[in-house]
Amino acid sequence: MPRGKFVNHKGRNRHFTNPEELEEQRRQEEKKQQWRKNKEQDSSDEEEDDEEPKASGTNRSKNPDATDSESESESESDTEGGKAKGVENLIEVENPNRIQKKTKKLCQLNQSLDTAKPELSRKEREQLEKQRAYANYQKLHAAGKTEEARADLARLAIIKQQREEAAKRREEEKKQKEMAQQKKTELTQKALGKKS
């Protein structure tokens, strides 16, 4: 249970490292790195001893500060380059997603801008292809070269023929009606006794 009205838990479990401890850790790391460098130099010295006996050993013993500065510079270069772990140094793998920037000259940029067409997305390309195909189809359809156009023309021919026949029938029926009307009027006038 909290003793006061307001409780702040933020600072209770904080742990700060002593600067002396940090300095001690740094010194130990430097010693380890120096020991490793000396070990590497000893192994390389043994190889060189076969060619030049004790030439490199005398340099090292005369100037101990030089090895410290060399080891620091070498340790920095190792950490910058990054030591390969495991089989990393044996297998060379390139990241396909990594894009390397390539420097181009101004004249090359101008030429590439002039010659390069703007790249279209997949949807835009498909839409353009559909429009071209539709325009081509309309052109062929107007010329009557497609099957649908031929069927339409045949249908139109049949409809024209049917309309012409219907028009002829209507005219004949009209003539027949007129003739029947004339006969009726003639008969009625005869019946009334009028002569025409």
**The dihedral of CA 154, 156, 160, 166: what is its sign?**
positive
Residue 154 falls within a domain, yes or no?
Answer: yes
Residue 40 falls within a domain, yes or no?
Answer: yes
Residue 90 falls within a domain, yes or no?
Answer: no
Residue 100 falls within a domain, yes or no?
Answer: no
Residue 95 falls within a domain, yes or no?
Answer: no
Same domain, 128 and 186: yes
pLDDT band at 116 (very low <50, low <70, confident <90, very high): low
Residue 50 falls within a domain, yes or no?
Answer: yes
Residue 56 falls within a domain, yes or no?
Answer: yes
Report the first-to-last Cα separation within the chain, whole angstroms. Answer: 134
Tens of pLDDT, residue by residue over 128-167, are 999 999 999 999 988 888 888 889 889 999 999 999 999 9
pTM for the whole thing?
0.30
Position 71 pLDDT exceeds 80: no
Instruction: State the Cα–Cα distance between residues 189 and 185, nearest whole angstrom.
Output: 6
The stretch 83-108 carries a mean pLDDT of 75
Domain count for the chain? 2
Residue 85 falls within a domain, yes or no?
Answer: no
Instruction: Give how far Cα 12 sits from Cα of 4, 6, 7, 9, 19, Å.
Output: 15, 14, 11, 6, 21
Please provide the average confidence, as pLDDT, over all residues in the chain.
77
What residues make up the domain containing 143? 124-192
